[in-house]
Amino acid sequence: MRARGDRLLDRSADVTDRDDLHPAYDRILDEIAPDEARILRLLATSGAQPSVDVRTARPFGVGSEMIDEGLSMIGELAGCRHLDRISAYLNNLHRLGLVAFSREPVEADRYQVVEVQPSVIEAVKRAGRSNKIVRRSILLTPFGDDFCHTCFSL
């Protein structure tokens, strides 16, 4: 391992070495599903997407319970074939460092369509009379943005 690391450092000092692409990009392409590529394309072309969490509402948040999280329309907007796998897809893309789950919301009007989706309505019903919808967003990381612009025709 040490010799391999030393070779890598030697390459970094070589000004004639051409390494235009991040070496992980080839491996990442092997580790993502076609639907995940669609999600990445959506995020690269349309920017951060709204996402909501549904919680039970308790005074001061003490004892609040998460009913469902990360509800969005990313799968539908991206044209994914397997909508039941969107959560797994997003987790894999996050594991690879391509997407981030942010506490920062996007523009408020973009949540209107998300909040009337059947999955959100069902989660609100399960939360009961006192519920809270927490607005979040899902976006590309800088690494993910570079990956998309390098690996896909956008």
pLDDT (tens digit per residue) in 90-102: 999 999 999 999 9
Structure tokens, 99: 């997407």
Q: Per residue in 6-47, pLDDT tens?
A: 777 777 777 766 667 788 999 999 999 999 999 999 999 999
List C-alpha distances in Å: 122 to 59, 81, 126, 129, 134.
23, 22, 6, 13, 15
Question: For 31-151, which CATH class?
Answer: alpha beta
- Taking residues 111-139, report their average pLDDT: 95
Rounded to the nearest 5 percent, the helix, strand and coil shares of the chain are 55, 20, 30
CA distance linking residue 59 with residue 43, whole number of Å: 36
Burial of 27 (0-12, 13-18, 19+ CB in 10 A): exposed
Question: Under a CB-based contact definition with an 8 Å cutoff, are residues 27 and 77 in contact?
Answer: no
Split at pLDDT 50, 70, 90, the class of 4 is confident
